[in-house]
């Protein structure tokens, strides 16, 4: 397949655009040297809107929200973890009570993000807790902004994708905090319009994802 003058229009939410797609796109562009990739970083809900308007060839989103007029395919699982600025004594030796964590300062993604939707759904369904009722929640628009907040505000806890904090955990800048009853996992999925053929470059990108992560699409 010739890739001269080909343009692949992608839209992806934060975890996928920042921590999953870069290595896949680098491999894709080695295979198709003339391919131009236009990657838009969008909240999960906006990816679906752009697909419906025909502005994207393929989207990548997180969580369980589905639009009935789009086709979703599961790619891999993602885990959200509780983290805070590293402390001299290290993480607590025992899991913290959930009520204690929710009563303290939290830094979370902004409304409309798949990450926040996953947290809201888990707290509501598993614990009967509404985020709006929590006393000390700060919503921030980017994963990087949350990490900066955690590093600047000791004691603040963030609930972030493990992929997004792997380097900070390894470097000792952040530490993971175990929380009783808090287990947050979600699917990462591709999404497209079923009434439009998938461009060859997009199909090859999905194949690369299948080969790397081992899921059949």
Which architecture characterizes domain 78-185 according to CATH?
Answer: 3-Layer(aba) Sandwich (3.40)
- Ramachandran angles phi, psi of 165, nearest 5°: -120, 10
Q: List Cα–Cα distances, 185 to 78, 121, 162, 182, in angstroms.
A: 6, 11, 10, 10
Question: Are the C-beta atoms of residues 8 and 205 closer than 8 Å to each other?
Answer: yes
Which has the minimum average pLDDT: 3-7, 85-89, 144-148, 166-170? 3-7
| Predicted pLDDT of residue 214 | 67
pTM of the model: 0.85
Q: List, in sequence order, every beta strand (DSSP E) within the chain.
A: 7-12, 36-41, 58-62, 71-85, 106-109, 137-140, 157-161, 174-176, 184-192
- Which residues are CB-neighbours of 109 under 8 A, at least 6 positions away? 14, 115, 116, 139, 140, 141, 143, 146
C-alpha span between 161 and 38 (Å, rounded) = 24
| Predicted pLDDT of residue 114 | 83
Paired strand residues for 187? 77
Find how far residue 54's CA is from the centre of its chain: 23
The answer to whether 7-76+187-213 and 78-185 have equal CATH topology is: yes
Query: Does the pLDDT at position 3 exceed 60?
Result: no
What DSSP line would sit under 129-185, residue for residue? --GGG-SSEEEESSHHHHHHHHHHSTT-EEEEEHHHHHHHHHHTSEEE--BTT--EE
Closest listed residue to residue 97, CA positions, set 82, 84, 79, 117: 82
- Ramachandran angles phi, psi of 13, nearest 5°: -75, 175
What are the residue boundaries of the structural domains of the chain, listed by start? 7-76+187-213, 78-185
Query: Does the pLDDT at position 5 exceed 60?
Result: no
- Ramachandran angles phi, psi of 190, nearest 5°: -95, 155
- Average pLDDT, stretch 15-31? 94
| Predicted pLDDT of residue 216 | 41
**pLDDT tens digit string along 25-72?**
999 999 999 999 999 999 888 999 999 999 999 999 987 778 888 999
Question: Which CATH number among 3.40.50.300, 3.50.50.60, 3.40.190.10, 3.40.50.620 corresponds to the domain 7-76+187-213?
Answer: 3.40.190.10
């Amino acid at each position: 397949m010739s890739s001269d003058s080909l343009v692949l229009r992608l839209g992806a939410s934060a975890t996928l655009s920042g921590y999953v797609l870069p290595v896949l796109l680098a491999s894709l562009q080695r295979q198709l040297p003339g391919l131009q990739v236009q990657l838009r970083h969008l909240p999960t809900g906006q990816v679906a809107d752009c697909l419906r308007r025909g502005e994207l060839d393929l989207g990548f989103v997180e969580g369980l929200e589905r639009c009935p007029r789009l086709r979703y395919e599961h790619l891999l699982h993602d885990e959200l973890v509780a983290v805070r600025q590293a402390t001299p004594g290290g993480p607590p030796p025992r899991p913290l009570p959930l009520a204690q964590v929710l009563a303290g300062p939290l830094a979370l993604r902004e409304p409309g993000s798949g990450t926040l939707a996953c947290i809201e759904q888990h707290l509501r369904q598993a614990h009967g807790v509404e985020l709006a009722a929590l006393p000390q929640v700060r919503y921030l628009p980017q994963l990087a902004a949350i990490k900066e907040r955690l590093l600047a505000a000791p004691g603040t806890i963030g609930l972030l994708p493990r992929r997004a904090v792997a380097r900070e955990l390894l470097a000792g800048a952040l530490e993971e905090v175990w929380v009783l009853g808090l287990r947050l996992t979600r699917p990462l999925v591709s999404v497209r319009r079923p009434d439009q053929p998938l461009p060859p470059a997009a199909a090859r990108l999905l194949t690369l994802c299948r080969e790397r992560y081992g899921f059949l699409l």
